[in-house]
Amino acid sequence: MPARDKRALLYLLSLVLDCCALIGGYFVALNLRDPRFLDTGGQSLPVLAIPIFVALAIAGEAQSVEALESRAIGMKRALQALGATAVALLLLGFLFKAEDLSRIGFGVTFVVAALLMVADRLLLDRIFKAMMGGRAISQLLLVDGAVAQPEAEMAIIDVGEQGIWPDLSRPDLIDTLSRMIADYDRVVVASRAEHHQAWAKFLKGSDVGGEILFPRAELLGAVAIGACGHHDTLVLSRGPLSLYSRLQKRAFDLAITVPLLLVLAMPLLLVALAIRLESKGPALFRQIRVGHGNRQFSIYKFRSMRAEASDSRGDRSTSRDDDRITRIGRLIRRTSIDELPQLFNVLKGDMSLVGPRPHALGSLAGNELFWEVNDSYWMRHALKPGITGLAQIRGFRGATGNSDDLEQRLRCDLEYLQNWSVGNDFLILLKTLRVVVHSNAF
């Protein structure tokens, strides 16, 4: 399991244990006072205390890398959130004139909760050391023909010895490297000078923190300067979203995708049946696309072409009078219904509702492959690909007849990465409704 997933589990466990500590304190207080004397504004203490505590704990970073690696910091931040919760409840009690609130019961609740939180942080520390060896950040040093001294606990892979480097004309190598670094938080590259630009663009398109060992004269658009052992590094990427932002985006995706799939279940089955009745072959078409962190994945679409004429690599762009498209296929492409199975990609986590559209490996802009037109193309995959995106609502969809078609989409994708927010995703979804039926959808 990647370190970031282990951290997320530990953060969740930390919150659950802290909330249990609050509930434990309340039950101890119940042995001293009747429940009606432990109400604030008509609600029992835990009902009000837990949401307030969770909000304050998250805001105060009681669940963070520092809190995991230092018991003292973890305890301090949790107890600060608990103290702020007690103050907030006292203010609520004053506002709602909760005159029956027992001071002794209230005090016992929070004193016992504090003691239990200290105990649960000791337990969490033991679990953290068992799961992650006491280090919350996983680090990797990639050696590509340069000398480097790794830091303690840093994994090392000599990619130069294996003949692997981010050749931007080789999506297979980009995919290999992307999978190699996917489980790490920080990746440092010790590269020969002629590969610096390629590594820089590869790291900027990744979903991890990326750095390059460097002579000080070479900057490459770094976002900061770091260190690895006795060497300086260029920090080229921090990963596009924080944990909280990733959780927001994922929650937003699931909150819309799950109800949509339930509502659309029968229509989707009817479309699949119509496709099967018109022509032989499966109702779904699968194709390898370039996805999050430049890792390849299999995308789902309703099959709109004859099965024997389907293009699994996307080497041939669809034209307006394409003879491979079936009658049902033309209708579902025109109305974008063929894209609906990608909701299952969103459910799996391969895609998001909103993001840069994932492209097939053989996609051409004129006579050039997409990454040959502009090698900044690989940077667009720092976020999950989307069913719709900024380029689509601005009218840049359909065939890419020349390099300018791709350049326009690439500018939109990089703008989206720079300005991501849940609010922007929501606006893009709303604006997508206006372009579901589009003259370039064929």
- Phi and psi torsions of 23, nearest 5°: -65, -40
- Phi and psi torsions of 302, nearest 5°: -70, 135
Residue 190's domain comprises 139-238
The domain boundary, picked from 116, 132, 148, lies at 132
Same domain as 321, residue 283: yes
In a domain, 440, yes or no: no
What total of structural domains would you count in the chain? 3
- Nearest-angstrom CA–CA distance, 291 and 175: 9
Contact 213, 191 (CB under 8 A): yes
Same domain as 37, residue 81: yes
Residue given tokens 């109400």 in the structure block = 39
Same domain as 332, residue 401: yes
Same domain as 146, residue 125: no
Instruction: Give the other-Cβ count within 10 Å of 116's Cβ.
Output: 19
Bridge partners, residue 285, by sequence: 301
Buried b (16+ CB within 10 A) or exposed e, 359-397: bbbbbbbeeebbbebbbbbbbbbbbbbbbbbbbbbbebb
Tokens representing residue 99 in the block: 């005159």
Q: What totals of helices (H) and strands (E) does the chain contain, helices first?
A: 14, 14
What's the pTM value of the predicted model, to 2 decimals? 0.70
In a domain, 175, yes or no: yes
- Nearest-angstrom CA–CA distance, 135 and 145: 28
Distances from the Cα of 402 to the Cα of 10, 122, 398, angstroms: 49, 61, 12
- Nearest-angstrom CA–CA distance, 235 and 188: 9
Give the CA angle between residues 142, 229, 197 to the nearest 5°.
40
The domain boundary, picked from 132, 156, 188, lies at 132
In a domain, 394, yes or no: yes
Pairing of strands 186-191, 155-158: unpaired
Which amino acid is located at 287 in the chain?
A: Q
**pLDDT of the chain along its 442 residues, tens only?**
778 888 889 999 999 999 999 999 888 888 876 666 566 555 677 888 899 999 999 888 888 888 998 889 999 999 999 999 988 887 776 766 656 667 777 888 889 999 999 999 999 999 999 988 888 888 999 999 888 888 878 899 999 999 899 988 889 999 999 999 988 989 999 998 889 889 988 998 888 888 888 765 555 556 566 777 777 776 767 677 877 888 889 999 999 999 999 999 999 999 999 999 998 889 999 999 999 999 999 999 999 888 877 766 665 666 666 778 889 988 998 888 999 999 999 999 999 999 999 998 888 888 888 888 887 888 899 899 999 999 999 888 777 778 888 899 999 998 998 889 999 999 999 998 887 765 555 4
